[in-house]
Amino acid sequence: MNRRSMLVLCLVIFIPVICYFIIKYYSERDLVMPRHFIADTIFVADRDGKKEFDTIWHTIPNFTLTNQLRKTVSLSDVGNKVVVVDFFFTHCPSFCPTLTRNMRKLQESFRTNDTLVQFISFTVDPERDSVPVLKEYADRYGVEHNNWWMLTGSKDTIYTLAERDFKVAAEDSGHMNFVHTDRMVLLDQDRYIRGYYNGQDTVDMAKLVNDIVLLSLEKKKGEKRNLFRK
């Protein structure tokens, strides 16, 4: 093989490899993924005189409630989607209508890919917010039912989720034993909490859109990159 042929062969072999590592470097450096929130347990190990930390992050447990179409649904039904959650009630005189309008804008933003994200709104007044009431409210705000659940059911279940699991009531509740928060919560595909956002703030809403996209690109543990696989 002459010198020129050897050079061409080297270029054919090494250029794709070099490109792979360049793309890998810049993608990992520039894409700052949303951080994890709420650690359940932190393990500390001493290895060779250096402390190493391993964190078990808080996850949202499965739940089963009823949506505005009278369907019994569970978090496990969502599958491999990113999830955006808020808490509201239909006769709310303050910020709930703003939350719903902004959630509707989020839904509209991802209309072309409604398999990417699931929207979930829990009523914090399930005694008054029956299925027909939720359906009327959803229709009034133009909710598309395929990937947005408005959920009602046991008050104990909803309040336990809000206070113990989503961690919104302790900081945001305005009344004793009444969850009233303008926060939206972002969950990744593994049901870790990856963000809290002010549902009334346009800057936070723009950040939420960006973080949804980032989480959809996040490589899961054990997954191999698809780049150059074909």
Position 126, amino acid: P
Between 197 and 6, the more confident residue is 197
pLDDT band at 46 (very low <50, low <70, confident <90, very high): low
pLDDT at 55: 81
Please state the rounded mean pLDDT for residues 93-103.
95
pLDDT at position 131 over 50: yes
What DSSP letter does each residue of the chain carry, written as one string?
Answer: --HHHHHHHHHHHHHHHHHHHHHHHHHHHH--PPPP--EEEEEEEEETTEEEEEEEE-BPPP-EEE-TTS-EEEGGGG-S-EEEEEEE-TT-SSSHHHHHHHHHHHHHHTGGGTTSEEEEEEES-TTT--HHHHHHHHHHTT--GGGEEEEB--HHHHHHIIIIIS--HHHH--BTTB----EEEEE-TT-BEEEEEETT-HHHHHHHHHHHHHHHHPPPTTPPP-TTT-
pLDDT at 23: 42
Between 225 and 141, the more confident residue is 141
pLDDT at 43: 64
Q: What percent of the chain has pLDDT over 90?
A: 60
pLDDT at position 17 over 90: no
pLDDT at 172: 44
pLDDT at 113: 81
State pLDDT tens for residues 197-229: 999 999 999 999 999 999 988 865 445 444 333
Calpha distance 128→123 (Å, rounded): 9
Q: Which residues have a Cβ under 8 Å from the Cβ of 72 and sit 6 or more positions away?
A: 64, 65, 66
What does the mean pLDDT of the chain come to? 82
pLDDT band at 115 (very low <50, low <70, confident <90, very high): confident
pLDDT at 228: 36
pLDDT band at 41 (very low <50, low <70, confident <90, very high): confident
Q: What percent of the chain has pLDDT over 70?
A: 73
pLDDT at 179: 87
Superfamily of domain 64-217: Glutaredoxin (3.40.30.10)
Q: Are 117 and 89 in contact (CB under 8 A)?
A: no
pLDDT at 30: 53
